[in-house]
Amino acid sequence: MNIAIIGAGFTGLSVAYRLLQSGHNVTIFEKDPQPGGLAIGYQEKGWEWTMEAFYHHWFTNDASILGLAEELNFPVIIKRPKTSSLIDGKIYQLDSPRTLLSFAKLSFSERVQMGVVLAFLRFNPFWRPLEKVSATKFLSKTVGKNAYELLWKPLLMSKFGKYTESISLAWFWARIVKRTTNLAYPKGGFLRFAQHLAKVIQKKGGSIQYNVSVENISEKNGKVSLGKQGTFNKVIVTLPSFAFLKLAPSLPSDYQKSLMQLKGLGAVVVIMRLKRPFFTDGTYWLNVCEPGAPILAVVEHTNFMDSKHYNNEHLIYLGHYLPKEHTYFSLSAEDLLKTLDPFLRRLNPEYNKSLIGLKKFSVPFAQPIIPINYSRQVPSMITPFQNVYLANIQQVYPWDRGTNYAVELGEQVAGVIMKK
């Protein structure tokens, strides 16, 4: 069959790879000049490696994407970086049972109480009963008032804003279950890994057309028309659901309404290039657990991957998930840094003296909103168009977004098509 895939993120790349292995003809259409999707990367002059526009890493139990890397003989680096939290103006390392039990802001009994609750979630394999309860309701009643107010409430509020009260405990469960202290990273960056997979696809006879935007999807005599891009036996759409609806206005109204009910947040990131480290304690990932904080996380990438790969520069992400209407989206990198500057000076009063450069990246959709009983809303891969399939990060439930689940989803939709 002649199969088209819209999007060269890791879902599109993985489904193409598997379909080519089964003898199908595959064409990928990608609006950007390179592959990777939300893991898209870039490279400054003097850098040996590429770096992601939006911070990325893998957990060591991300079996799908690590398995794919092994299959492709692509090298992966595993390290144990330091994860910390900013609480009441002070940075605490909180990334293991040991550091949790030594957290001085809570009494010993409060630490044990929170530890028991987190252990219950981590070792509980049954997520379906949990999706009926909100994360805020469960945590506020179980981890203890101090722990909830200091840690979890500000994190959830900062991440989800007006959606906080509706977020399902199943989402929180998935975050706890998947987290590992060791993290993995593809050698050279996610862009290099995506490019490697793209080259394998092309060697197998697949076509990847970059800088091409599909503008319409319609059914035509049992096949699928993509307008100027041609007609295909089957089409796989790896775009967010709202983007799929824009391409296929003739979809049934009930189906359109069901997809329009799905909510999400965009992402805004400023990347600072510094001559010196931002954190003096080696922190890689800083969760900002402060009500009203201007950002969600400060991530010093070069406290995970060695700065020697980036011309000895120290690279810091300043990240936030926000509604696409937020003012951050319209600000330049320089103006956004001015907004964040008072907060950043609390962490490092002299960071700006070693500032080399800035970049800003943003996307209108990066984080699905997972409300109570989301299993009733998860879109099917099968769409009302007989030969059109939908595969995006709103369908990886109960898991959260990530390249591992993008690969897993791609392999699943390939399996569905190959059975037909």
359's CB contacts (< 8 A; 6+ apart) are 42, 53, 270, 271, 333
Q: What is the pLDDT of residues 234-253, one digit of tens each?
A: 999 999 999 999 999 999 99
Say if residues 134 and 140 touch (Cβ distance below 8 Å).
Answer: no
Sequence-ordered alpha helix ranges (H) in 104-261? 108-122, 135-142, 145-147, 153-160, 169-178, 190-203, 241-247, 253-260
- Span 151-157, mean pLDDT? 95
Say if residues 408 and 396 touch (Cβ distance below 8 Å).
Answer: yes
Q: Is the pLDDT of residue 35 over 90?
A: yes
Q: Between β-strands 90-93 and 82-87, what pairing exists: parallel, antiparallel or unpaired?
A: antiparallel
How many C-beta neighbours within 10 Å does residue 293 have? 17
Q: Residue 360 to residues 76, 187, 262, 347, 348: CA-CA distances in angstroms?
A: 27, 24, 27, 20, 20
How would residue 401 be classed by pLDDT, with cut points 50, 70 and 90?
A: confident
Residue whose token pair is 């910390």: 84
Supply the mean pLDDT for the chain: 96
Q: Which amino acid is at 93?
A: Q
Q: Which amino acid is at 327?
A: T
CA distance 329 to 349: 26
Angle at CA of residue 198, ends 194 and 202, nearest 5°: 175
How would residue 276 be classed by pLDDT, with cut points 50, 70 and 90?
A: very high
Say if residues 407 and 68 touch (Cβ distance below 8 Å).
Answer: yes
Q: Is the pLDDT of residue 387 over 80?
A: yes
pTM confidence score = 0.95
Q: For position 344, what pLDDT does the model report? A: 98
- Give percent above pLDDT 70 in the chain: 100
Q: Is the pLDDT of residue 419 over 90?
A: no
User: φ, ψ for residue 272 (rounded to 5)?
Assistant: -100, 135
Chain centre distance of CA 16: 21
CA distance 55 to 57: 7
Q: Is the pLDDT of residue 199 over 80?
A: yes
How would residue 220 be classed by pLDDT, with cut points 50, 70 and 90?
A: confident
Through-space distance between the first and last CA atoms of the chain, rounded to whole angstroms: 11
Name the nearest CA neighbour of 394 among 362, 376, 370, 420: 370
Q: For position 100, what pLDDT does the model report? A: 87
Q: What is the pLDDT of residues 282-299, one digit of tens each?
A: 999 999 999 989 999 999
User: φ, ψ for residue 199 (rounded to 5)?
Assistant: -65, -40
Q: What is the pLDDT of residues 80-114, one digit of tens each?
A: 999 999 999 999 999 888 898 889 999 999 999 99
- Span 67-79, mean pLDDT? 98
User: φ, ψ for residue 362 (rounded to 5)?
Assistant: -150, 150
Q: What is the pLDDT of residues 204-216, one digit of tens each?
A: 999 999 999 999 9
User: φ, ψ for residue 24 (rounded to 5)?
Assistant: -85, 160
Name the nearest CA neighbour of 255 among 390, 64, 54: 390
Q: Is the pLDDT of residue 222 over 90?
A: no
Q: What is the pLDDT of residues 301-340, one digit of tens each?
A: 999 999 999 999 999 999 999 999 999 999 999 999 999 9
Q: Which amino acid is at 35?
A: P
312's CB contacts (< 8 A; 6+ apart) are none
Q: Between β-strands 25-29 and 2-6, what pairing exists: parallel, antiparallel or unpaired?
A: parallel
Q: For position 116, what pLDDT does the model report? A: 95
How many C-beta neighbours within 10 Å does residue 200 have? 17
Handedness of CA 26, 75, 311, 334 (dihedral sign): positive
